[in-house]
Structure 1
Amino acid sequence: MSDPVPVLTIDGPSGSGKGTVSRLVARRLGWHYLDSGALYRAVGLAAGWAGLDLSDPSALVRCAFDTEVRFDETAGEEPRVIVNGVDATDELRTETAGAAASAIAAIPEVRAALRDRQRAFRRPPGLVADGRDMGTVIFPDAPYKVFLTASPEERAQRRYKQLKEKGVSVTLDSLLREILARDARDASRTVAPLRPAPDAICIDTTGLAVEAVVERVLALVAR
């Protein structure tokens, strides 16, 4: 029997750097990449387009099954996310989309509907999976697990800089409030709460350059 395809899970709260680090690590390793948060944001976005009630589990489960999500890695450095045939990459990165994703992620039926879709990304030669429950729920057997964190203030500053560069009008105070609220929601939900897997390596990225974090993660895989 052949060994399972290796998986590196990188979990953490919003703004911890897991998306950037995961993409760079996947590129360095030559592995596939899963942005699990984009799947939740895509379902939340599609639900909004359809005018669905975000507190209606049955409607959201149907939406989770029906929403077509594709990652286009040919368009540039950051994969473009195509939702039902529409390039929704920029819209998915807004705080509104993030809040919708956090709300629907608390619904057990939606998480169950997206579980197999996420696991299908596990293909040779390997997978780097970025999210909040990759190491605890989706790939509990992953041989490599990392949990990134950073202070709320640093994470708010990163999001502020990112959104301002994209021309989005935001304030640092509002971003900090949203991050703290999302942290509380994600950590207290009854299904797959945000927490490190028991066997995960925790890295505080506060004050660290992205490349330094990438090297620490790659060293873990090279052991």
Structure 2
Amino acid sequence: MTMPLIEISQITKSYQNGDQELRVLKDIDLTIQEGEFVAIMGPSGSGKSTLMNIIGLLDKPTSGSYDLEGKAVDSLDEKALAKVRNRQIGFVFQQFFLLSKLNALQNVELPLIYAGVSANKRRKSAEQFLEKVELAERMHHLPSELSGGQKQRVAIARALVNNPAIILADEPTGALDTKTGAQIMDLLTELNQEGKTIIMVTHEPEIAEYATRRIVLRDGIITEDITKGE
């Protein structure tokens, strides 16, 4: 059997609230293979966003182990974590997080600047991925000149530009109307069919239907883990 892309073992996450300890995640075990499309669901406060942040190396677990592509990442320092994030994980958020004074092309180039890629290569790669998300004609427009769906396409192009192993999508359709949300989900499905591993947090059952595996958290515990067709 091939090595898992993500292997999480006995992960806990706790916060101190005065003299009380709040346990948000409780002994989570999770394995994700390359090429999966996973939806993480659960009610507010279930721990799904905390789990997503740990998978995305935006937060560290209190205890437990996390291996990414066979390498332990839970003990890395901030500088090393930033390097792994930039190279191996692409982020897509509900609120897009585009820089308002940069046009679409410049926003997509940002991860490549952090990676030290030359200006000419950056531009070519950014153009290529904006074409992939069908925004070639809008690449010189500012975010204020783009629709919600177009902004999310820019964010997806930015997530893809470093060719990461994983795309993490946190409520990717949350700020979009139903029709535009469906278009974004079709794009994510297409990327998954091309081999990208996609891990998505959503509270919408109809959006989770696009995924091939559904994980449900309640009170910091995985209560369901269902793969389509099994």
More helix as a share of residues: 1
- The TM-score with structure 2 as length reference comes to 0.35
- The TM-score with structure 1 as length reference comes to 0.36
- Higher relative contact order (Cα pairs below 8 Å, separated by 6+ residues): 1
Structure possessing the higher radius of gyration over alpha carbons? 2
